[in-house]
Structure formats: C-alpha cells, structure tokens
Amino acid sequence: MVSRVEHPAAGYKKIFETVEELNEPIPATITGVIPSWLGGSLLRMGPGQFEVGGEPFNHLFDGQALIHKFDLKNGQVTYYRRFIRTDAYVRAMTENRVVITEFGTAAYPDPCKNIFSRFFTYFKGIEVTDNCLVNIYPIGEDFYAVTETNYITKVDPDSLETLKKVDLCKYLSVNGVTAHPHTEADGTVYNIGNCFGKNMSLAYNIVKIPPAQGDESEPLEKSKVVVQIPSSERLKPSYVHSFGMTDNYFVFVEQPVKINLLKFLSAWSIRGASYMDCFESNYSMGTWFHLATKDPAAYMSSHKFRASAFNLFHHINSYEDQGFIVVDLCTWKGHDFVYNYLYLANVKEEWEEVKKAATRAPQPEVRRYVLPLDIHREEQGKNLVSLSYTTATAVLHSDGTIWLEPEVLFSGPRQAFEFPQINYSQRRGKEYSFAYGLGLNHFIPDKIVKLNVQTKETWVWQEEDCYPSEPLFVPTPGATEEDDGVLLSIVVKPGAERPGFLLVLDAMKLTELSRAEVNTIIPVTLHGVYKP
C-alpha cells in the first residue's frame, strides 16, 4: 500500500507558475552515475504560460504549450525549453490577451473593436485551439506536438523550433484525435477520434497512419479510417482520451462523460463558453466496452459489454489470453467529470483546501476487466471468465449484454496511480507484469510507483517536497527481463539550489541511479517521449 504524505508548505504551487523559455540549452549538474548506454533526448510537453495580459488561464489544460528537452550525450546532460509557436500562443502574445478559447478559458472579442465587429466575431463560428500542450510523438520520421483537436504541430526535436501547423481534417474524417496513439514496431500509428457518422449521428473512427515509405511522401497523406464504432448517443459523443490495442483487436471504452454537441455549437457562437462548459454526465448509461478486429478491420456489434459508471483517461495495457481480452485501466469511480477538479484555482489552493476538494471528486482505482470473445452457446447468469489468475467476471444477461465486474489492482483513498507506462516495445498488447505510474496524492503528483499487475505488489520512489512527472520506461539494450531498464522523470523541488532535475531510476528496484539538476523551476509536464 502506498503511504500518504502531507504537503503543508504547498510547494506544489510552483509547478503551476509561468516560466520563460531559454535562449540556449543549460548544463546540468550530475550526481550518481547515468548508464553509459543511455544517450538520447527526453522530450516533454506541458503548459508554461498560465496567464496573458493579466488574464489568467483557468484550467490545467489551458496554459500555453511549452516543449522541454533533457539531452543525454557522452555522460553530459543539458536542459532546454521553448514555447511552441502555435496560433493560440502567437496571437495571445501579439494582442496581450486570450484570443482563442482554450479547454477551460473562454476568449472574448477584442475590446478595442466597435460593437458591430464584436457582434460579428461572436457569430463567425468556432475557432478551434491548436495549443498542443498534451503530448509529443513521431509520425514517420517527424515529431508532432499534440492536443486533442484536429490540429497537430510539427516540431524539430533537436532545435525545438516550431515547423508547421497541420490540420488532420485535410487527411481524415475526424473532428480531433487523442493525444495517445498506439505505434507498432514498423512505425504504423493508430489513433481514435470522434466524427460525424450517418444521418448526422456521431461515431468514433479508428485511423491508421502508415510508416515512412522511403520516398518523399508524407505518411499523413496515406492515412485512412479503418473502422467506425457507433456512438451510444446520437448527438453526445463520449470524451475519449485513449484506447486499447492488442495484436488482433481494438478496445474502446465509451464512458458516461459526454460532449453535448448542441451545447457546444450554440453556447460557443452566442456567449463566451469554453470546452469545459459543453461536458455533461449521462447518469443512466454506465460504461460501454466496444471491440473491433484489426485485420480485417470490423466492428464487433454482437459483443455488448457493459459496466458501472467510471471516468477513464489512460489505458495501461490490453492483451489476449485463451479466448479473452484483458483490459487494464486507470479509472475514477462514478459519473462526475474528474477534469472539474483540475481548475488551477483548485490545485493552487493551500494543502488543506486541496485535500477537501479531492474528497468530493471521483475516487481513483486501477482495474482489470476481462472481455470474453466467445459469447455464443453460453448460459445466462453464469460467469464467462475462466482465467485462473483474475477475479474479474463477465455475466451474460437476458438482453444479450454482458455485465463486467473488475478486479481491483490498486486502490487507496485519494491516492491515484495515473499517467501509466509499460515496457511498450516489448509488452504492448502482450501479457505483462509491470506498470509504472505517477502517484497523485489528492491530485498533487508526489511519487513514482511501480505496480506488479499480477501480484499487486508496489514499489515507491518519493522524496520530501519533490513533485515528479510521468515516468518513461527506457529498456536496457538487449534486455530479456521485462523491467530491465530505467525510468526517466522530470522532478521539481521548489526551494532547492537547483530546483529542477531529471531523475534516472533503476526500473527493477525503483532506486535512484542518477539525477541531473538545473538552476530553474520546471512547470508541470503532462506526457512525452524518449528519442534514442
């Protein structure tokens, strides 16, 4: 069980404060020994500007996108960061105000314009943000910083220069895609996003982007929709942040947090509203699990899996075993949208207030669900799951639906295991033992946790007044053991002489190998990638 630590000094407030970008990489002071084989770049995305023109951004996912890089070369480490030159950032800096509506912050017309031009600005329609603060990943030989809209931004992973804004709608029938694609060994990228289906109904499209071909063509030009999954509600798609993929199947979990499309279109055009204003909860649907085959790609409409209501942001892993699909998830119990508790005013409160707010929020739990593939010739009311190592159940009901109950792999009061990582190159879509996550203590990141999903044993790295980020697993070259490698995490220790550092942990024992400290605060980062 993960122990709880208190934060009465509220040092975590520093990770939600604006910083300046750097003119050039700065050298880090190294303690311990960095493995000689570890040479490459850790690239991370997150918010770096939390207000503009005296006007605050409201939500954790509103701050302007800042790209961070720790470079490891020949035993030396440098740190560099730059703001992404998105339209949202450039126009905000030019006009010294919020110009494009963000996730939880509405943009208002320019006060310098007269009443008529302000009126027409309101009715011009939706200007979608390109503020790509959530993640960065490769497509072909290029790297893209992303959020969850239809815009992604091509960046240079070496100079961190912003290269090009790309509209995915030019290539694919999607309104936006997640910031959590799946990538196969050959570089093929799969992702999911909602779209308009038949008769103006909503659906979810799984898209495929081929690897680089060796010619001059862009992989995005050859991208395509491979399968469409219907929405349970015609005009209210579920919020989707990630999905699962095994060797032969896609797993999509449709949660009861919904985007009200009519509210989205009307509220936006008439009054100042943000994306957050358009979310609502469906209190009757519970949670639906959908399956689709990969090759040939087809939606499995006969498999109707249902479960109690939960929020879902991150899949850990999914795999096939003896006619079942095992799906491991970081869940939050109930209908209430977790993002309602991630406004900056909440997470920057004093510690006792942060704790009070977290007690009202949905409670986190790592869960394992098991989906039977062979649902025919089975009797009603009987548990269809025959895997010996799990207590998860699946029961066929008279209406043809299969009710799923999970096995709980990790649970603690207001202690979340989130931002999960695995040995992706070796175990994605395969049976596995270990997951690595960021421990959230009443939503404040204060530990790194290793979880054995088979035995439920946990290991913890934690240090007083330290605030780590998502730990990325990098395997030791030629390793055969699943957890033979290191974890990389950016940690902030406010008040220290060098308050920001790259932490290198032994992934087997979760013990510190090295840290590379820099004399600058590093604001919160969300997701990232290691580039060898």
Spatial contact of 206 and 229, defined as CB atoms under 8 Å apart: yes
Helix (H, G, I), strand (E, B) or coil at 84: coil
In whole angstroms, what is the distance from residue 177 CA to residue 132 CA?
Answer: 12
Binding positions for Fe cation: 180, 241, 314, 527
**Residues in the chain, how many?**
532
Which helix (H) or strand (E) covers residue 305, if one does? strand 304-307
- Select from 53, 51, 215, 81 the least CA-distant residue to 160: 81
- For residue 50, the 8-state DSSP code is -
Beta bridge partners of residue 452, listed in sequence order: 434
Binding positions: 180, 241, 314, 527
- Select from 1, 74, 86, 5 the least CA-distant residue to 40: 74
- Select from 451, 467, 448, 256 the least CA-distant residue to 348: 467
Helices (H), 215-334: 261-270
Which tokens is 140 given?
């072909």
In one-letter notation, the amino acid at residue 259 is I
Residues 6+ apart with CB under 8 A from 210: 187, 188, 219, 222, 223
- Select from 55, 63, 69 the least CA-distant residue to 16: 63
Which tokens is 38 given?
């570890």
Cα R_g (the chain), whole angstroms: 23
Spatial contact of 430 and 385, defined as CB atoms under 8 Å apart: no
In whole angstroms, what is the distance from residue 145 CA to residue 134 CA?
Answer: 8
Spatial contact of 358 and 341, defined as CB atoms under 8 Å apart: yes
In whole angstroms, what is the distance from residue 313 CA to residue 446 CA?
Answer: 19
Residues 6+ apart with CB under 8 A from 48: 18, 19, 21, 63, 64, 65, 66, 81, 83, 523
